[in-house]
Chain A
Amino acid sequence: MRKSKAVAVVVAAASTAVFAAACGSSNASSGGSSVDWSKVTHLTASGPDSMANLVKDAEKEGQLNVITLPSNWANYGNIMKDFTAKYHIHITDAIPEGSSGQELQAIQTEKGQSRAPDVVDVGTPFAVEGAQKGYWAPYQVQSWKNIPADAKDTNGDYYADYGGYVAIGYNPAKVKVPPTSFASLTNPAYKNMIALNGSPTSAGAAFAAVYAAALANGGSFSNITPGIQFFAHLKKIGNFVPTATGGPTTVQNGTTPILIWWDYLLASEVKPVVPGFKIVIPSDSSFASYYDQAISASAPDPAAARLWEEYLYSTTGQNLWLAGFARPIELSTLVSAGTVDKSAYSSLPPAPAGALTFPTQAQDNTAESTITADWAKDLG
């Protein structure tokens, strides 16, 4: 999913930044600087592009437009509240229940308007698409080096924010034999029990679940077909319930006591409503996916947008995501520095050993078209 860009681009961006910084310094004044924040690609320790100046100018803007951030998703409700309390910047959250696709549409259709999104939180394919269309302003937060190289655009167009692993959640009151792996899901005791969260042709989590099942069944990042075949088999033996309504409600009312979803969403949305709910990362597959942050190139509030990113990648922001059961991208830094919120950290299932790996954009595209073509064909 992560795409590296030519070094030349970085050099060009860096020189732009130096140039912008140089221009900025000549114009800086005391009552809110006249830095053109839309051109700033990273902060400097001192001078006009400093954090102190950014805070001052962002507070002067007083407004930040975010989009598709549900308040109960990854703790965003508290994150937005805390940000507003800290910087007195009012946040407008457009279509909280919207999708990544709608975020890109908004960037395009609302360009130039004061209500246009300043920042987005999108799935990686959409971050890449936006970068190709020139939607994003490159920006590197102060903790840039703590984001794994595999999880950011080298130019700084977009960067992973939080995510997690495909996991199996189950209600032990209904599921007597605990599932431990994808292979274990074929147990006849699980008849009419297993669901995904949505359709894999439109819901990212369900798509990832099929990808994860592929890894467990001899497939690879380049070959999702064994995952589709696995679910076709599960459906054939009657274990897989293909409803797109799979979620906290269907676990709670017993329709689908086993739900394959992101570990952090099982922890934040299902666990609180189902007593004793258990979450396990399948032993035969570890598939992780992270969402990405990006700043709109036409952000109406460029300073607030950059301050928002600095805030999200601060220890406070990272731990707030963790408190919402999402794994922040700088988690390993937090753990080694001892700044991690320990109780939040312990509520997630332990992460599988080994470094995070992601499919490339090309592999992801192939998997998308394979699943679009074959899902209905093999499961219908």
Chain B
Amino acid sequence: MIEVAAPEARASGARPSPVARAVRASLRWAGVLPFGLYIALGLIAPTIAIAIAAFQDSNTGAATFSNIDAAVHGEYLIGLRTSIELSVLTAIVPGIFGLLIAYAIFTAKRGVVLRRVVITASGVFANFGGVPLALVFIATISTTGVVTGWIQDLFNGFNIWNHGFSLYTAFGVFFVYMYFQIPLMVLVIFPALEGLRPAWREAAQNMGAGTWQYWRHVGGPVLFPSFLGCLLLLFGGSFSAYATAEALTGGTIPLTPIQIGSLLNGNVIAGQENLGYALGLIMIVIIAIVMVLYTVLQRRAARWLR
């Protein structure tokens, strides 16, 4: 996802001496050094620390597999399964909505201002989360929320809460996640849409293709790897989200990040910190798999979308 632009060595008239070339090469590396340090300290070192702690006993520090074992059984297995299910659902549904919205503003006539507004707003909404987001929804659409009241006033006292709606369930979490997942999808899929060249469509039409045929044979296949890649990003976002779900459901929905929170930062469960690290390690492995898939898809997408 993050690309580091290597400074291009400019070819000058005279051929550079070997010394100059060596200096230039090491300068090139020096430019990447801060980022490398950042990655080493911020990503690699903690990952190694978690991986080691996952195989240590919480109290004695002795080597053990019991943490990993516990992490893939019972309530923790249920937690992983629920986390993955919720993340898949909160990737696919907003993925589709986000794609449609992005396509709509992409094709809008004279849509430059609209496009800018939507992209900027998406950037803001996609980064709003945590407990504040949960509180915003509670204030808006809980039993005493503003919007709940409006609906009640508009439809003869119809209270959505008496007809199956609830914020404090898996559905509620899914509902709230839409708030940041749809804008995130708009943001990440838009560049791929911009890569669809009008010339391709014109060429297809010249050869007699209709809209369906264009999407079936040209637009779809070109866009599909990007679309899947974006879904994986959304999956990662949901999978690691913690505070919003915790605030809404108070642990009544088993999600791995919430379980890790209880094990590491809670006031109730003592002496099982390393089980938390084991769960963390499993999450890291899942995200690593997702990122590898994402990279493969990006490479495939890059064949056409340059």
Give A residues with C-beta under 8 Å from B: 99-102, 104-105, 123, 125-126, 128-129, 132-133, 192, 196, 198-204, 206-207, 235, 241-246, 249-250, 253-255, 368, 371-373, 375-377, 379-380
Which of chain A's residues has its CB closest to B142's CB?
A255
Q: How distant is A189 from chain B, measured CB to nearest CB, in Å?
A: 14
Chain B binding site: helix, strand, loop or mixed by DSSP? Answer: helix
The 8 Å CB contact of B273, one of A101, A250, A255, is A101
Bound together, the chains give a CA A368 to CA B268 distance in angstroms of: 7
Known: A133-B59, A255-B142, A380-B170. A243 touches B248 (CB 8 A): yes
Q: Given A129-B271, A133-B59, A376-B252, do A245 and B247 touch, yes or no (CB 8 Å)?
A: yes
Considering only residues 111-161 of chain B, those with a C-beta below 8 Å from chain A are: 131, 134-135, 138-139, 142-145, 161
Instruction: Using CB atoms, name the residue of chain A closest to B246.
Output: A244
Tell me the complex Cα distance, A123–B250, Å: 20
Q: CA of A203 to CA of B267 in the docked complex: distance in angstroms?
A: 5
| B134, B170, B270 — most chain A CB neighbours (10 Å) | B270
Chain B residue nearest in CB terms to A124:
B270
Q: Is the CB of B268 within 8 A of A244?
A: no
Q: By the criterion CB–CB under 8 Å, are A241 and B267 in contact?
A: no
CB-CB under 8 A from B14, the residues of chain A are none
Interface residues in B270-297 (C-beta closer than 8 Å to A): 270-271, 273
Would A375 and B266 be within 8 Å (CB), given that A132-B59, A245-B138 are in contact?
no
A207-B268, A245-B131, A255-B144 given as contacts; is B75 within 8 A of A377 (CB)?
yes
Q: A196-B250, A375-B252, A380-B253 are known; give 7 further A-B pairs, CB within 8 A.
A: A101-B265, A200-B250, A201-B251, A202-B266, A207-B267, A245-B131, A245-B134
Cβ–Cβ < 8 Å partners of A379 in chain B: 252
> How many of chain B's residues have a CB under 8 angstroms from any CB in A?
40
Instruction: Given A201-B262, A253-B139, decide whether A242 and B252 contact each other with a Cβ distance below 8 A.
Output: yes
Residue of B with least CB distance to A202: B266
Given contacts A102-B265, A243-B168, A255-B144, contact A199 B270 (CB under 8 A): no
Q: In chain A, what residue has the closest Cβ to B131?
A: A245
Q: A244, B262: Cβ atoms under 8 Å?
A: no
Asked if B47 CB lies within 8 Å of chain A CBs, one says no
**Most B CB atoms within 10 A — which of A99, A101, A235?**
A101
| B267 and A242 within 8 A (CB) | no
- A residues less than 8 Å from B142 (CB atoms): 255
Verify A101–B254 contact, CB threshold 8 A. Answer: no
Contact between B269 and A372, CB atoms less than 8 A apart: yes
Looking at the assembled complex, report how far the CB atom of A103 sits from the nearest CB atom of chain B, in whole angstroms. 10
Q: Which of A126, A128, A246, A372 has the most CB of B within 10 A?
A: A372
Chain A residues near B248 (CB-CB < 8 A): 243-245
- Verify if B96 is at the interface (C-beta below 8 Å from A): no
CA distance A126 to B79 in the complex (A): 25
Q: Is B18 engaged at the interface, CB distance under 8 Å to the other chain?
A: no
- Point out the residue from A133, A199, A250, A376 that lies within 8 Å of B75, measured CB to CB: A376
For A249, give the chain B residue with the smallest CB separation: B135
Per the bound structure, the CA–CA distance linking A241 and B252 in Å amounts to: 10
Known contacts A242-B250, A243-B249; A199/B161 CB under 8 A:
no
Which residues of the other chain, B, contact A244 by a CB distance below 8 angstroms?
246-251
Residues of chain B lying within 8 A (CB to CB) of residue A241:
143, 168
The answer to whether B261 has its CB under 8 Å from any CB of chain A is: yes
Which one, B78, B135, B170, B254, contacts A245 given CB within 8 A? B135
Chain A residues whose C-beta falls within 8 Å of the C-beta of B161 in the assembled complex: 192
Residue pair B134, A101 in contact (C-beta under 8 Å): no
Docked complex Cα distance between A104 and B267 (Å)? 11
- Top 7 nearest A-B pairs (CB, nearest first) are A199-B251, A202-B266, A376-B254, A204-B267, A244-B250, A125-B270, A202-B262
CB neighbours (8 Å) of B265 from chain A are 99, 101-102, 202
Question: Shortest Cβ distance from A248 into chain B, in angstroms?
Answer: 13
Please, how many angstroms separate the alpha-carbon atoms of A123 and B59 in the complex? 18
Contact flag A373-B270 (CB < 8 Å), given A245-B135, A254-B144: no
A372 engages B59 (CB within 8 Å)? no
Which residue of chain B has the shortest Cβ distance to A130 in the bound complex? Answer: B270
Chain B residues with Cβ below 8 Å from A255 are 138, 142-145
Within 8 Å CB of B59, what residues of A? 129, 132-133
State the Cβ distance, B269 to closest chain A Cβ, in Å: 5
Chain A contacts for B167, CB-based, 8 A: 243
A373 contacts across to B, CB distance below 8 A: 74-75
Give the docked Cα–Cα distance between A129 and B267 (Å).
Answer: 12
A68 to B79, CA, bound (A): 30
Q: Write 13 A-B pairs (CB below 8 A) sorted by A numbering.
A: A99-B265, A104-B270, A123-B267, A129-B59, A199-B250, A200-B250, A202-B262, A207-B268, A243-B247, A244-B250, A255-B145, A372-B262, A373-B74
Would you call B268 and A200 a contact (CB within 8 A)? yes
Cβ 8 A contact of A243, one of B138, B259, B267, B268: B138
CB <8 Å contact, A376 and B143:
no
Beta-carbon contact of A204 and B268 below 8 Å: yes
Contact yes or no, B138 A200, CB < 8 A:
no
- Given A244-B250, A244-B251: A199 and B258 within 8 A (CB)? yes
Distance (Å) between the CB of A204 and the closest chain B CB?
4
- Interface presence of B264 (CB below 8 A): yes
Interface contact A368-B269, CB-CB below 8 Å: yes
Contact, CB under 8 Å: B270 / A128: yes
Closest CB in chain A relative to B262 CB, distance in Å: 4
| A371-B268 Cα distance, complex, nearest whole Å | 10
* Contacts known (A99-B267, A201-B262); A242 close to B246, Cβ less than 8 A: no
| B270 contacts across to A, CB distance below 8 A | 100-101, 104, 123, 125-126, 128-129, 368
Residues of A within 8 A of B131 (CB): 245
Complex CA gap A105/B247 in Å reads: 24
A142 to B168, CA, bound (A): 49
**Looking at the complex, which one of A104, A243, A249 makes contact with B250 (CB distance below 8 Å)?**
A243
What residue of chain B has the Cβ atom nearest to residue A291's Cβ? B267
User: Given that A242-B250, A376-B254 are contacting pairs, would A202 and B168 also be in contact in the complex, using a CB cutoff of 8 Å?
Assistant: no
